[in-house]
Amino acid sequence: MGMNSKGKKFADINVTPMVDVMLVLLVIFMITAPLMLNGIKLKLPKTKEVNRLNISHSLVVLSITKNEEYYLGKTLVKNENITKLIKSKINVISDVLYLRADFSLKYGKVAKIMSSLKNAGIKNIALVTEISKK
């Protein structure tokens, strides 16, 4: 409670601490949100930077580990269900599938997966790589 120049008391809410807390929470969220989907450990191929991509929940991301485990986002899926799940998400969330394949996978396996996805009607597939440090 404060006092004005005439000695009368007035009650105002001090919003400055609340705004400070909200801004700190916003910054924390902005920093941690792109890291949420990168929990699947893959050794991605390295290339020069072409387009920077921040992986988020608004993107449809298929990750393939070196043991040929398939993850749609962070969810482990079976090989048989991949095309149905991706097609349902592609129509709703995005029109591009981002494919993250471990570097140790043979090229033929990645090409076969891409071919089956294209045959299922998924036309826009983008390969995700890491930026080389050179």
Q: Which of 9-13, 66-70, 84-88 has the lowest mean pLDDT?
A: 9-13
Q: What are the start-end ranges of the H helices in 49-122? A: 82-92, 107-119
Q: Which class is domain 35-131?
A: alpha beta
- 0.85 exceeded by the pTM? no
Measured distance CA(95)–CA(35) in Å, rounded: 22
Where residue 1 falls among pLDDT bands split at 50, 70, 90? low
What is the model's pLDDT at position 75?
Answer: 85
Structure tokens at 41: 């450990």
CA separation, residue 7 to residues 10, 37, 74 (Å)? 10, 57, 61
- Domain limits of the chain? 35-131
Measured distance between the N- and C-terminal CA atoms of the chain, rounded to whole angstroms: 60
What is the model's pLDDT at position 55?
Answer: 61
Mean pLDDT over 72-99 rounds to 80
